[in-house]
Structures are given as structure tokens and as C-alpha cells.
Amino acid sequence: MGPSWIGDMIMAQSLYKFLVSRNPEIEIHVVAPPWSIPVLKRMPEVGRAFELPVAHGEAGLGKRWALGRSLRREGYQQAIVLPRSLKPSLIPFFASVPVRTGFSNQWRAGLINDERPLDTEYLNQTVKRYVFLGLDGGEGQLPSIPKPQLDIDTYNLSATAERLNISLEAEIVALIPGAEYGPAKRWPAAYYAELASRLVGVGLQVWILGSEKERELGDVVSASANHPNVINLCGKTSLVDVIDLLSIAKVAVTNDTGLLHVAAAVKTHVIGIYGSSSPEFTPPLTRTKDVFYLGLGCSPCFSRECPLGHFRCMREILVDEICSSVITVLGGPGNSGDGKNMKSSLDQQGSTSSGALNG
């Protein structure tokens, strides 16, 4: 039973990879929200994906019962229920799966019959909790956790670029300014716009990525940057299109949101910006990353909006810092960009631009 958020679904691949590494003959099927089915098809460990036809927050008991009954014929030996809430545990019960594994929850007594204790200090990351549920009941020691890695469809990449009339030849930096959870997880749009202006000023192409819900936010960033090489693609792509587009970006500058984990899973260098959430709990699962997190006394609050009103956790992460990180990555080994010349040009830009954003 898969999770409901994009980032969590990507992190769940670590569990699938672990299960397959233990038993290559295993067959994994995932019950998941409709939006995630194409993403699961990019995970070679997943044999089949079943759509859960229930809206977010909907009880849908009849739909869950019907799906569970239809899955009885599959003859599953075990169900692993990743969400900790009641409703996801109903379908394996209705499907008569003999072993139903999940974390202990008094509301799921009987529905989960292979209960695991949740030690929040030891299992201090979402991905650790997922992989822990893949251990045999008597095991308590986590293995080395495999990192998610999504398949890329080069045909779809080319078709998407042609449809959007964008070039795949330039050096591309992806900006991901949205976060569906709430504004407390979003580095200010004005900062993203300033960053975009600086990056296109040294010859880079900037793509703004996100869903239809972020289209207006993307418009704000692109309009403020006011350059033809700052391209707002929010709402113009499917999620699998974004997977393929991110795979050719040199760097992704992103809030702690689902696309951060997508970027990590396609081996793009991630510059992750954290405010109300914690990079200790949901870090980018990649070796190629830079994480910015101030760790203020009020952080992480995990709130949707800043409860104190000052939003220092994001406002005090400066454009200069993020921009310098991007250029360092582009000038590093294995990249064709001339990082030294870019750095010099950006320093000149920074000396003449307004200090309102960076002070």
C-alpha cells in the first residue's frame, strides 16, 4: 500500500529495491493514487500498479472493499502498508492477505497482524521507516539503504521538448519554487526570480518546474526575471515529463517538495532549501547534493505557514549562497561549464544588484 505524496512515493522505491535485492524472484505490486501510476512504471522493481480510485480524504469504504475483493485472486503472501493511518490497512484485510505488515496503531488492531513498533529515534527518516517494514519480523537492524533511481524515457524527453519548444542543448538549471504542503516550505518567489536573473545572465537556461497549482507562482518568477531563457513550464507537463526533463538538468534548486526527490532519483545535482521541515527527516537520497538549512531554534516546526510570522528560516538563506552553490557545481569535474568565468560574472552582477533580497 503506497503513500499519497510524490516525495514519499519516490522514497518508497528504496523499500522495493531492498526487497528485490533480498529475493530476486519476488513480485511487487503497489496500490497507489492515480497520479502515481505512471511514476511506478518508471520503477523496474514494481511488477504491477493498481489504481486506488479514492480521492484524498475520502473514506471510500465501498471502493476499498471492491478493490480488496478483486485482489483476492492474486494470492498475495504479504502486504506491507506504508501509511500509518487506518484506511490504507483496509484493502489488504479485504483482500485476505495472510500477513499484513505495518507500524503499530491501536485503531488498526486486527487489520495489521504483523505489527512493528515505531522507534522514532532509530527510525528518524521516512525512508528508514519504509525499509524497516521490509525486514523479517525478528530483525531489528537496518541494512544499507538503496537509493531511488527512476528510469528515463528518452523518446518522451525528445517529444516533450519538441512540444514545449525548448532546447535540450543548453546548460539547464531547474528551479522548483512550489511546495504543495504550504508556504512555510517555500523559499521566497522574489529570491527565485533574482537567482534566475543571475543564472541567465551568465548564459544558462532556467526551467521553472511544477504542477498546474504552481503555474501562477512560476509566472511570478519568470515575469520578475524578465528574460526569454527563464521558461515557466509549471502546468505544461505531466509528472513523467518532469522526470525526463529533470534528468538532463545540471542542477535543481528546490524546496523540500516531491520534485526534490524526483531530481535526486534521476541523478541531477540537488540544491535543497529547507525551512519549516528538516533535512534530517527527508533528505535528498543522493550523493550529489547541497543542503541549505539554518536550524533555527524554532525549526523544524512542520507548519504550513510560519507560526511566528517572521519566516526567518527561509528569508535568511541568501540568493548569493544559492547562486554560488549552483556555479560551484557547474564548474566542478564532469561539467562542461566554465565555473570560474561564471563566478566572476555573477560577482559583478551581485555587486550592482539591489541588496534588498540579500541583506
Q: Quick one: average pLDDT of 197-207?
A: 95
The string of pLDDT tens digits covering residues 234-261 is 999 999 999 999 999 999 999 999 999 9
Of residues 273, 274, 241, 286, the one with CA closest to residue 14? 286
The alpha-helical segments, DSSP class H, found in 83-205 are 90-94, 126-132, 154-164, 189-201
CA 354 to chain centre: 32
d(CA 350, CA 66): 60
Q: Which residues contact 337 (CB under 8 A, 6 or more apart)?
A: 171, 204, 250, 330, 331
C-alpha cell at 62: 465501498
73 vs 76, 77, 221, 313, CA distance in Å? 8, 12, 51, 51
d(CA 341, CA 88): 53
pTM given for the model:
0.91
Q: Which residues contact 231 (CB under 8 A, 6 or more apart)?
A: 164, 166, 205, 206, 207, 208, 222
Of residues 12, 72, 84, 85, the one with CA closest to residue 46? 12
| pLDDT score for 359 | 27
Of residues 50, 27, 24, 53, the one with CA closest to residue 37? 50
Sign (positive or negative) of CA dihedral 115, 120, 122, 123: positive
Of the two residues 54 and 269, the one the predictor is more confident about is: 269
The string of pLDDT tens digits covering residues 291-348 is 999 999 999 999 999 999 999 999 999 999 999 999 999 985 555 555 555 555 555 5
To 10 degrees, the CA torsion angle through 294, 295, 301, 303?
Answer: 20
Q: Which amino acid is at 298?
A: C
